[in-house]
Structure 1
């Protein structure tokens, strides 16, 4: 699942999204640059790995968030829920 969010201050929002994402359960960051953050999120029971990526594109004023399963055909909506959780936690602040 890939979504794009528009923000006025992309750099600041990127930092906030990464902060929220890094505190999700069973999440381990594996790569980080100024514009990009990549983590592996493990499922609770079977520990299946999912990729969670956050990319800021300042020239377009957007942040892309991608959450995808590495294994299997269906994720049973887990990746959609993860992205929705990120957005809802951002809008609470």
Structure 2
């Protein structure tokens, strides 16, 4: 007897329904792929990246800049006041 030879299946074209089905899988799976990517990066950030130093970094000894006195806000004209040059200058 002859030995069984393994042959490739003959090349065939797929029906258009199958092509459309696979074309819909890509956009439908995109949110899940993105979610898995974000979760993987989050795990990598927590487990692989070095942790921040335990002691806080020293802050400079300079005092923060603070205004000497709070700014005075101009009084707003009343709603029923007509807009004149004198009112507009305030």
Q: Answer yes or no: same fold by TM over 0.5.
A: no
Determine which structure has the larger strand proportion and give its number: 1
Is the helix fraction higher in 1 or 2? 2
Q: What is the TM-score of this pair, normalised by structure 2?
A: 0.23
Q: Which has the higher contact order (CA 8 A, sep 6+)?
A: 1
Q: Higher Cα Rg: structure 1 or 2?
A: 2
